[in-house]
Structure 1
């Protein structure tokens, strides 16, 4: 699963600062899921048993099957992403739906349940939801009809429009009226005008771009191939490429996490049949590389709690039953290991 924090860049922080003193409404009290760690379990293909667990690092309490617990019905899909946007938590299922819940209590507030094929992630902009979707497979299992679906309301509803993009779109990032789309298979960044609902610019990048992130005031995209990883930043005033960095990290995957001090943790895997997995650590500002911070087998997801300076690494256990999540301190020592659901792949730190 992709890195799950959806940063709003400095613009959101500035807007909040400017207007907070003028807002006389009381802040809502924190709900029981507004703090702690959300652990996303994809579920197994065919069983469609994806679910979310909640872990409280203070008390050590692990709450299972949060969606079903709070809504009295199973999630009943394969989970692809968890996205926190505009006081809503979006549960993206690659089996063709998006469930929307209140982040504090996980109660359902809406859904998109039709006209989607294989959604991957989403972002909100201009009061709309933009959902990246692989589209249907053709006879050769390619995805030539990938798109970004547009939904008019933040609480779900019907798909209003499908914007054609390059094959296998992954992460999205909203800035102003623009939505950046990471086109994994064709190494493209496509930029959508959220008001016009059309692609207005396409940028070629190196590797397979999968994850946007913000560091030191710039928007970057993480990309990789079999031999290297690539980091590309962008000028947001004129939508052009800015800085570029290539690092020699072999067998990188799409799974990354961002720690304090600009550290970037990257899962690596040799793949079938050996599955020699590891975690490499680097930075785009200090390219000193730790190629094997941790090694193992079955690494599947990764996330970082910056407040506690702890790294969460999930292990799929080959999808043979439940997986597990191990928590490491910044120095690499093990803090805790816990059994979770099937195919744990995502960690969202609240």
Structure 2
């Protein structure tokens, strides 16, 4: 950030104290000049109506600002704020039901541009360099044959190509210039990882049913698969699948019990963390033995481990404002609890 912005930030924060209100629409909020250091939480918002938003929590936890995009720009993001990704100085905010990606400066949250054509039911964005990004799209969620990954030209924020893929593409990770896409299956279930190179679908890898989260450790991709839920009439066990990124081969599959459906795989140091049946479990990533140790109780919507802390969101009843809870992983004790927006679905860091 430029020195002028930093000076303005100090000046304005000396004048105003920003905190959460019980109703973020009823009281005006004063926004710091920059969101350079801290935590960003994407809040999906109410399903089918209203708008999602983004909450900012300062690095020292002293300042919490709700609905920063609307406050800075005077407009709502739309319905549903599914996720967010970064590339250089920009934040790419994926607004699912509104079929658009809103682009803002990640430090000031001033609007930069938007992408409203060439995408359909977008889910997640990943930038790979200053020229190219990728967006997973469900298309019509009732049509399993129209799903695709859009390739974004980041120089002009247009869709440069679309790559047809199997149904239900969701989260992505990148390794060695390739994109790995988990196919959770949309409103159904799937069991694939797509491997994309440039603008081409290189191959697919079969994993367990309903892959929902991934991490890269060394030269391996670990994929947490939830398994088919019981309501499908074909319930299957969750699993943790290790893939050799050098050749795309499955190295190991670790299987949970038939009625166990884990989610939210994340990693910090040499440990994996995931959610299962109202508990957070910890695994030694070098010597995996399921289920590992349950360390924290709580039903969390999403969670991210980073630098010895666990950032976990609680969506409460999915109609009221949720919360972000922070745990010290050295003691497994909660150290912070912040009110955020309705259905907090993503945790990101401005550094």
For Structure 1 versus Structure 2, the TM-score category normalised by the shorter chain is 0.7 to 0.9
Alpha-carbon spacing, 1:233–1:43, altered in 2? closer, same or farther (3 Å): same
Once the two structures are TM-superposed, the CA of residue 177 in structure 1 deviates from its matched residue by: 4.6
Match of 2:117 in 1: 114
How far apart in 1 are the matches of 2:155 and 2:220? 26
Match of 2:197 in 1: 193
Alignment of 1:257-336 (within 5 A): 257-260=266-269, 262-269=270-277, 277-288=278-289, 289-297=291-299, 299-306=300-307, 309-330=308-329, 331-336=331-336
Alpha-carbon spacing, 1:65–1:28, altered in 2? closer, same or farther (3 Å): same
Once the two structures are TM-superposed, the CA of residue 233 in structure 1 deviates from its matched residue by: 2.5
TM value normalised by structure 2: 0.78
Once the two structures are TM-superposed, the CA of residue 51 in structure 1 deviates from its matched residue by: 0.9
Once the two structures are TM-superposed, the CA of residue 217 in structure 1 deviates from its matched residue by: 4.7
Q: Secondary structure at the match of 2:101?
A: strand
Q: Secondary structure at the match of 1:144?
A: coil
Alpha-carbon spacing, 1:201–1:290, altered in 2? closer, same or farther (3 Å): closer
TM value normalised by structure 1: 0.78
- Does the CA contact (< 8 Å) of 2:56 and 2:64 recur in 1? yes
Match of 2:248 among 240, 251, 259: 240
How far apart in 2 are the matches of 1:48 and 1:253? 30
Alpha-carbon spacing, 1:144–1:248, altered in 2? closer, same or farther (3 Å): same
Alignment of 1:173-184 (within 5 A): 173-184=173-184
Contiguous gaps of at least 5 residues in structure 1: 1-26, 270-276
Once the two structures are TM-superposed, the CA of residue 294 in structure 1 deviates from its matched residue by: 2.4
Alpha-carbon spacing, 1:154–1:208, altered in 2? closer, same or farther (3 Å): farther
What RMSD in Å do the two structures reach over aligned CA positions? 2.5
Once the two structures are TM-superposed, the CA of residue 336 in structure 1 deviates from its matched residue by: 1.8
Alpha-carbon spacing, 1:302–1:176, altered in 2? closer, same or farther (3 Å): closer
- Does the CA contact (< 8 Å) of 1:41 and 1:345 recur in 2? yes
Match of 2:149 in 1: 148
Match of 1:35 among 34, 37, 40: 37
Contiguous gaps of at least 5 residues in structure 2: 7-32, 228-235
How far apart in 1 are the matches of 2:70 and 2:156? 19
How far apart in 1 are the matches of 2:213 and 2:152? 22
- Deviation by residue 1:157-194 (Cα, 9 ceiling, x = unmatched): 3x343221001011223345533222223322222231
How far apart in 2 are the matches of 1:247 and 1:57? 38
The total of aligned residue pairs comes to 305
Once the two structures are TM-superposed, the CA of residue 247 in structure 1 deviates from its matched residue by: 4.3
Match of 2:238 among 228, 234, 237: 228
